[in-house]
Homo-oligomer: A and B are copies of this chain.
Amino acid sequence: MNPPSPHAACASADAPSEVDLASLPPALGIGCRFEFEAVAPTHAVVMVEPHESERGRVLDERFAASGVSISTTYSDGFGNRCRRMTLPAGRSAFTYRATISNDAGFDVDDVDAHELPVGDLPDHTLTFLLPSRYCPSDELATVAFDEFGTMAPGWQRVDAIAGWVHAHLGFAYGSSSPTKTAADALRDRTGVCRDFAHLMVTMCRAVNIPARYAVGYLPDIAVPDPGTPMDFCAWTEVFLADRWYTFDPRNHGQRRIGRTVIGRGRDAADVAMTTTFGAVRLVGMTVTAEGVDGADG
């Protein structure tokens, strides 16, 4: 097992009071398996590996694809690791497994983090103020102003947005779709974690707070067992003071540990787990994210 990293120390200091720190696993086992059925060889781009910014946490990893001879990776404009491969006709599958340090700490609660006037925001954050496909902050501008426009800027306002999203959407499996926007979710009052994240991103941008969409692995550590199969999770990152902070409107009220970012972008359009350029059916998917003993992950 690795010695505790500075991150882990910070995490400990920051842990919710009720958590027994000694019980936290030193490492995480993450991964997934996708199975496809294709009518012809079909090119695909796969995004399931930790984001470039998370590479330092990876202890070991393995990507294996049955029936796929070659795969190459590249990093897209958001630092997401994209893997290209050509799926063969018929059945095929790929598996990704990694052991990573559980040293990113609990979600940070920094009530002193302040909002910046737009003019003081770093250049790289500005794209995260614009409307995007699933986050039409222009269409929901009046809702956002009505609800949050007159609140004092800062962490509390952002947290109020997370709470409002949590209160206004009901979580329901099967309630999302590939074309569902944050405006649709608010109309339906229903969604999955993707929709919660989109709605929070949208509200933040509409009041000029940079916000981006993140997707990754999130183990159920120090929280009640949800009793449902593990899946990828989506959440929101918000730029306050001088950094991006994690907010999770789906799990608002919980501080989580073990998040591992796979992809970041303006919204889900930028971080599809798999993109296939042809007639391919996804016939199976499993996701793993759990605490493990790091030494032999």
- A183 CA to B188 CA, complexed, in Å: 10
> Which residues of A179-216 are within 8 A (CB) of B?
179, 183, 186-190, 208
A127 to B277, CA, bound (A): 12
Known: A142-B188, A178-B138, A179-B136. A277 touches B84 (CB 8 A): no
Check A252 for interface membership: any CB of B closer than 8 A.
no
Q: How far is the CB of A278 from chain B (nearest CB, A)?
A: 8
Contact status A123-B43, CB under 8 Å: no
Of A54-62, A74-82, A222-230, the segment with at least 4 beta carbons within 8 Å of chain B is: A74-82
- Measured between alpha carbons, how far is A179 from B140 in the docked complex, in Å? 12
* Bound complex: CA A269 to CA B266 (Å): 12
A266 to chain B, nearest CB (A): 9
Q: Could you say which interface size class chain A belongs to?
A: 35 or more
Q: Is the CB of A130 within 8 A of B84?
A: no
- In the bound assembly, the distance between CA atoms of A76 and B183 in angstroms comes to 27
Residue A119, interface by CB 8 Å: yes
CB-CB nearest in chain B for A75: B123
Knowing A118-B43, A136-B179, A138-B178 touch, does A127 contact B77 (C-beta < 8 A)? yes
A153 CB to closest chain B CB (Å) equals 13
Residue of B whose beta carbon sits closest to that of A74: B123
Pair B129/A132 contact, Cβ less than 8 Å? no
- Does B84 lie within 8 Å of A123, measured CB to CB? yes
- Least Cβ–Cβ distance between A5 and chain B, in angstroms: 31
Alpha-carbon separation in the docked complex, A136 to B266 (Å) = 16
**Which B residues lie within 8 Å of A129 (CB)?**
275, 277
Asked whether, in the complex, the Cβ of B189 is within 8 Å of the Cβ of A146, the reply is: yes
Q: In the complex, A73→B189 CA distance in Å?
A: 36
Per-residue contact bits, chain A 111-149, to B (CB 8 Å; 1 contact, 0 not): 000000111000100110111110010111011001000
Contacting pair B139 A188 (CB below 8 A): yes
Give the shortest distance, in Å, between A149 (CB) and chain B (any CB). Answer: 11
Q: Are B269 and A131 in contact (CB under 8 A)?
A: yes
A86 within 8 A of B: yes
CA distance A43 to B119 in the complex (A): 6
Contact sample, A vs B, 18 pairs, CB 8 Å cutoff = A45-B126, A74-B123, A76-B126, A82-B123, A84-B126, A118-B277, A130-B269, A131-B133, A132-B269, A133-B133, A133-B136, A133-B269, A136-B179, A143-B187, A143-B189, A146-B168, A208-B277, A208-B278
**Which residues of A are in contact with B by a Cβ distance under 8 Å?**
43, 45, 74, 76-77, 82, 84, 86, 117-119, 123, 126-127, 129-133, 136, 138-140, 142-143, 146, 168, 170, 178-179, 183, 186-190, 208, 269, 272, 275, 277-278
